[in-house]
Amino acid sequence: MAEPRPSSRTVADSAGEPATGAVLAAPAVPGPGAVGVLRPLGVGQVRLDPDGLLGQWYRRNATATLPHCVDRLETSGNLGNLRAAAGEAEQEFRGMWFADSDVYKTLEAASWRLAASAPGDEAGLRAFVAGTTALLARAQRPDGYLNSYFTLVEPGERWRKPHWSHELYCAGHLIQAAVAAGRAGVGDGLLEQARRFADLLVARFGPDGVDEVCGHPEIETALVELYRLTGHGPYLELAARFIDLRGRGLLTRGPFGPGYFQDHVPPRDAREVAGHAVRQQYLLAGMIDVAVETGDRELLAAAGRLWEDAVHTRTYVTGAHGSRHRDEAYGSPYELPPDRAYAETCAAIAGFQCSWRLLLATGEARYADEMERVLYNAVAVAVSCDGTRFFYSNPLQVRTGHVGGGEEASTRRLPWYSCACCPPNLARLFAALPGHLATADDEGLRIHLYGSATVDAAVRGVPVRLRMRTEYPWQGRVELTVTGPAGSAPWTLALRIPAWCPAYTVLVDGVPVRAEAPDGYVRLRRVWAHGTTVVLDLHLPVRQVSAHPRVDAVRGCVALTRGPLVYCLEQADLPPDAVLEDVRLDPEAPVVLALANGPGPSAPPVTLIASGFTVTTAGTSLYRTAARAGGTTTPVTLRAVPYFLWGHRAKGAMRVWIPARPAPHENSG
């Protein structure tokens, strides 16, 4: 077990980090003695330009999504619950029993936003953080316990329903909000409240306490983050204990069994992901955090092994996790039905967080590749262009005439949900997004995600500013300019070459350089002069992607991708008499680009134009033999749009996977 550190982590004067004495305002900041290769930058050290796609998303989150979440916490009763728990209102409890967690996620999002804002900016957001922090203090019980549902509705059942209570889950989100506020220097008192609750957890569940785990993992990574900020060893010890208690069958109630709760096998011994997808990914995040802080190589290897299983056998082409609606769970290997995909937004966010932690721990480019895939597809699709409507589940196909199965299976983005876990989760991810573009290591700086931005860091004690200009992902050209004092020592600028990229070129001050990327990163090492320019040009061909043959649901289909983006077909782009289910792609015909389709954020700068045909089958028989097949084919031009933008036009069918050849009963008529 690592030795406790001082109560406030100060940042050493090393590559990529701010001045000595400043707390690094970013999520998942490894401690000084942690196992790991890369160090994150603070969310304020990377400033996204509002004209780039990532900058547009970041600004939309700040101006629309986050204020929307704050408003909904009031109108949906979440804040009213806490006022009632504080004895200040007569309101009956409203919403899900874990509704407090939505308050905490919004607080975390606000804190990351404020960490990147000037002290006098965002007055309304600062008032929300201060007012909510004060409210939480009034609602907290004398022993440190804080949960409005059990305070108001079932006070006698506190800690008695570990399968479903979400008490530790809510505590975890409170702690993460407090860590964000502490690192951002806002929310005076919130860290103290979180520590009072965490101390209660240590007393109850610590080494000499109750052998119990939460049905919904989340507390594990939160306790590690609290340890990182405070240096208080018992928080890390409790996080490790919660992980090691799993697999003992402590959670066996309910219709889904212990696998649903990741309690069927010890995490160190697990070979396959299982159960509720969000819970599994949150548990992996906690495993990684504990492993890097304790030097537990076995636990880190187990997390990496489970990541491999998820990504290579149970993850959708969009990066989404979870194929089953019934239990919001992973299915069997290669069980990835596009039309029945649950693909919960929170699972995509959790997958992004896990890949980020593995990237920091190992420096391996494949984890950044996965972050990119998830962000541009499975995460981005969940938010409307105006930032105030959201998907809970994210199918890869919507059939003609499909009737949604409730709000969690809606084919239209909704402004809120009765289980509103996803919108504030999106808000906290996008608020922290700048801190995920670049990292530092002992050699210099690495760029993982490309977007127009300004990166400020210190490399070997020398301030460096890196200006990045690009229209990525619509174009592959990335221009970087190094500014700041001319250093006397060389350092390395490493640029990720995505696994999907077949070719690239690199220019330094206009001169081509040979730049190999054996591990997924081009490394340019030199004494950098002020004004040195680097141009990385990534080739972005259109690719026809096919699934592993064991993915029965999409056998004989292809998905169109370009760069990190997955594309889809929508009924809105077909002739009025065509039905999307009748469409077939001609895989031999070229796919070309169409630029600037129209105005507005829902009009993509790049769409794909492909050739295909529709099949009209004679008769109405549901089944037929090949000998009696009939029908005609009609040529049709197919326009594919980025998957993350689907659902912004007329309601209708959509599909990512396109049949690429006639079915056995079809002929050319």
Q: In the 8-state DSSP scheme, what is residue 580?
A: G
- Annotated active-site residue 568? The verdict is no
Kindly report the backbone phi and psi dihedral angles of residue 508, in degrees, each rounded to the nearest multiple of 5, phi listed first: -120, 115
Residue 244: partners with Cβ closer than 8 Å, 6 or more residues away: 266
Kindly report the backbone phi and psi dihedral angles of residue 503, in degrees, each rounded to the nearest multiple of 5, phi listed first: -160, 155
Of residues 228, 203, 202, the one with CA closest to residue 25: 228
- Annotated active-site residue 421? The verdict is yes
Q: In the 8-state DSSP scheme, what is residue 249?
A: S
Are residues 445 and 455 in contact, defined by beta-carbon separation less than 8 angstroms? yes
Of residues 311, 305, 310, the one with CA closest to residue 287: 305
End-to-end CA distance of the chain: 72
Q: What dihedral do alpha carbons 211, 214, 218, 221 form, nearest 10°?
A: 0
Tokens 């070997």 appear where? 460
Name the helix (H) or strand (E) containing 489: none
- Give per-residue burial for 611-650: e unless 16+ CB within 10 Å, then b: bbbbbbbeeeeeeeeeeebebebeebebbbbbbbbbbbee
3-state SS record for 589-622: CCCEEEECCCCCCCCCCEEEEEEEEEEECCCCCC
Distance between CA atoms of 452 and 447, rounded to whole angstroms?
12
In terms of DSSP bridges, do strands 491-496 and 444-447 run parallel, antiparallel, or are they unpaired?
Answer: parallel
Distance between CA atoms of 166 and 172, rounded to whole angstroms?
10
Name the helix (H) or strand (E) containing 94: none
Are residues 647 and 609 in contact, defined by beta-carbon separation less than 8 angstroms? no
23: number of Cβ within 10 Å: 18
Pick the catalytic residue: 421, 422, 557, 568?
421
459: number of Cβ within 10 Å: 24
C-alpha count within 13 angstroms, C-beta hemisphere, residue 314: 27
Are residues 237 and 1 in contact, defined by beta-carbon separation less than 8 angstroms? yes
Q: Is the peptide bond before 473 cis (omega within 30 degrees of 0)?
A: yes
SS3 538: strand
Kindly report the backbone phi and psi dihedral angles of residue 63, in degrees, each rounded to the nearest multiple of 5, phi listed first: -95, -20
Residue 252: partners with Cβ closer than 8 Å, 6 or more residues away: 258, 263
Are residues 663 and 582 in contact, defined by beta-carbon separation less than 8 angstroms? no
**What residue ranges in 316-394 does DSSP mark as E strands?**
none
In terms of DSSP bridges, do strands 397-398 and 654-655 run parallel, antiparallel, or are they unpaired?
Answer: antiparallel
Of residues 464, 429, 439, 469, the one with CA closest to residue 451: 469
| Beta-bridge mates of residue 285 | none
Distance between CA atoms of 236 and 226, rounded to whole angstroms?
8
Pick the catalytic residue: 328, 344, 372, 408?
328
Distance between CA atoms of 17 and 14, rounded to whole angstroms?
6
Length of the chain: 669
521, burial (CB in 10 Å: exposed 0-12, middle 13-18, buried 19+): buried
Residues annotated as part of the active site: 328, 421
